[in-house]
A and B are shown apart, each in its own frame.
Chain A
Amino acid sequence: MQKAEHTIVAFVEDEPGVLNRIVSLLRRRNFNIKSIVAGATERPGLTRMTIVTDESNQHRRVNMARNIQKLVNAYTVEDVTDVPAVIREYMLAKVSVTNGDRTALDLLTREYGAKLIDSEEGAVIIEATGYDMEIESFLEKLKEYDIVELMRTGKMAMRRGSHLELKEKLELMSTDQEWTTKQIQSAIS
């Protein structure tokens, strides 16, 4: 059975409007975005995005990656749905507490490897990271308290292992392959 979620990583130019282009493309092609996370990388000028959709059709999944790859601003796209990858999410929750709750909440937080990062009169802020099931089950427990604000980032993905092909791909991509009639002729002969 296909996983319900489809996760891809897109490497794109760090330029104004690129996120707009990707989101516009996915909307136009009728893909439903569950989350999208974009940020800086090890290379200046390169933005890395993790895009999660609920697409289950394998042909459409391939098509979506190819569509993003087709954008002029794209370097390369990887489908990480079915390969070993670390997929993590970050969450912030503000919980309203009276003094009596604090100890139990503190214990729960530690149990899930989460952190109490702010503690003020009447409310605390907890941060947690993990794969989706961890976050879900922590949240389930947290619901016993009064959650007044909650924010999840959406997922970030990175393939496991050295995965040197990617590094090579990004380094080796050259701009001098002009697709001209002349070159087609030489490709043919």
Chain B
Amino acid sequence: MSEASKKNRTLTGAEIVWECLIREDVEVVFGYPGGANLPIYDALFKYKDKVHHVLTRHEQNAAHAADGYARASGKVGVAMATSGPGATNLITGVATAMMDSIPMVCITGQVGRESLGSDAFQETDILGAMIPLTKHSYQVNDITLLANTIKDAFYIARTGRPGPVLIDIPKDVQNESMVFEYPETNNVLPGYNPVIRATEEELNDIAKLVNEAKNPVILAGHGVLLSGASPELIALAEKADIPVAVTLLGIGGIPASHPRCIGFMGMHGGYWVNHAIQEADLLIACGMRFDDRVTGKLETYSPNSKKIHIDIDPTELNKNVIVDVGIRGDLKAVLTAALPKIKRTKHDDWTAQIKEWMKISNTKDILNRKSDKLYGAFVVRDLWEATKGNALVVTDVGQHQMTVAQYYYQDHQNSLLTSGGLGTMGYGVPAAIGASFAGRRKPIWAVVGDGGIQMTITELATAVQENANINIALINNGYLGMVRQWQEMFYDNRYSETPISSPDYMKLADAYGLKGYRVDKREDIISTALEAQAHDGPTLIEFVVEPMEMVYPMVATGSALNEMVQRPITEEQFSDMEI
């Protein structure tokens, strides 16, 4: 390198951060400036034409937005914050991403190296705090390691089982200079070597169990989407005629309209789906982790089935449910290799049995209720119709989230964004803003509750500042509905602190500069949704719904998966119901 070009390539740590991000194909960053990352934000002026920065109104929401962007785009999301409170504010968003295996890189500023450990102003041991919440974490105390660290961080975030990675950079490292060259290869330890292929023996084990099964069920989780294994999963389901049940994060891994897809499993899953799982003689768990919300009481879980579990993360095998065949590998690679060994077959009796269970359940479905009242389920069902099932749906956490899982029949991959593992209220609005930068040509609908939206309502300002094309469907029932539901069922109707008031959302929308609508009749849902969707810029529709409605069916904690509480039918509610 000549002296002149060396001089040209002499960059500060702050500039190196942006150079590295650009080389990692980062187009948008969500963040918040502060004292300890001032150099990074100052250097941003040089890179404005290459990277768009979105100023969220709270660092937690920067993390949620990066998460939403990552889920919608399949790329690594990037969030930035300053030291101390900025960094600690990221934590909820990082923990959310960790639980749901979302690739993300968080860059925090830190006090200068000479002040580390002195309780300096806005100093927090964010590395120590983040160790249990991230896939990996770094503090860069030497500028010569900065570019390598960023390269490694992106590699770790997106490979194997994806997850968030923290990079903490002291302010004086951001200010130092060096000749910049982006490393060509990553430097990650040799022990970090995600295994992707199954052995021949393992493939034969899969084939033997699948070919012998009479009542098999595939359990499709988030791994199907993360691994891009939808075509292989569908091929398996079609070839061996196996019904597919999906987890919350697995929704979209097989189209809901696919004849082999039986729907959503678990605590609020389909009665017929849970029955199928309980009665199965073979479960083929694909990229899922047997969370307590999908197993019910472990001791009674699918008692008579053999179990195959395929997951990229070996620590998930035999963690909650002990399986007969546990295979560490990339789902797409494993299924592709297994498919030729699977015999083409039919399971007509089994399919007919599941249909029988479905009929029992349909009689209790709220969608079959003839009512003038407005229920959350009607809103979701009609939004599905209005959007022709083509929306990218983001949810918050609670009753509406389960209602979306039940009634927004998702046919598309990576089109339901929801905090599944951590159940983070407040996720919906910021994640939808993040998703709006993913370049998907789909209308974005954030379905949220009146509790969740008030946790991160500050982001309405961000949505307006960015003119993000998001539509917020606020299901307002005046309660923290899911908690109230538990109080009604398990705490003798003692509604401790679950009634919640709201601001006047129309005035609020007006104040923030969103287009606002209020709907309290079912017949207005579709027309209003279409009007909102046609509007250029963010909109908010408040749906004023029945306050005491519950999500059914439900598996109570400690119950077996098939011991579901069904929706009670009263004469009045179903008087003129046609079944």
Contacts and interface: CB of A to CB of B under 8 A. Distances in A.
Interface of A: 11, 13, 17, 20-21, 24-25, 28, 59, 62-63, 66-67, 69-70, 72-76, 173-181, 183-184, 187-188
B191 A75 contact: yes
A147 B89 CA distance: 51
Contact of B188 (A59, A72, A187): A72
B336 A176 contact: no
B314 interface: yes
B186 A175 contact: yes
Interface of B: 127-128, 131-132, 135-136, 155-156, 159-160, 185-194, 196-197, 228, 313-315, 318-319, 322, 330, 332-333, 336-337
A184 B318 CA distance: 25
7 contacts: A25-B132, A66-B315, A72-B188, A173-B191, A175-B190, A184-B196, A187-B196
A72 B192 contact: yes
Given A25-B132, A70-B314, A173-B190, 20 more contacts: A11-B191, A20-B131, A24-B131, A24-B132, A59-B319, A70-B313, A72-B136, A72-B189, A72-B192, A75-B189, A75-B191, A173-B193, A175-B190, A176-B185, A177-B193, A179-B330, A184-B196, A184-B332, A188-B332, A188-B336
A17 to B, nearest CB: 7
A11 B191 CA distance: 9
A73 B333 contact: no
Given A67-B315, A175-B187, A175-B188, A72 B197 contact: no
B155 A76 contact: no
A187 B186 CA distance: 21
Contacts of B136: 72
Binding site secondary structure of chain B: loop
B190 A184 contact: no
Nearest to B318: A59
Given A76-B191, A173-B191, A178 B314 contact: no
B333 A188 contact: yes
A21, A75, A188 interface centre (most CB from chain B within 10 Å): A188
Contacts of A177: 193
A66 B319 CA distance: 11
Contact of B190 (A28, A67, A174, A181): A174
Contacts of A183: 196
Contacts of A73: 189, 191
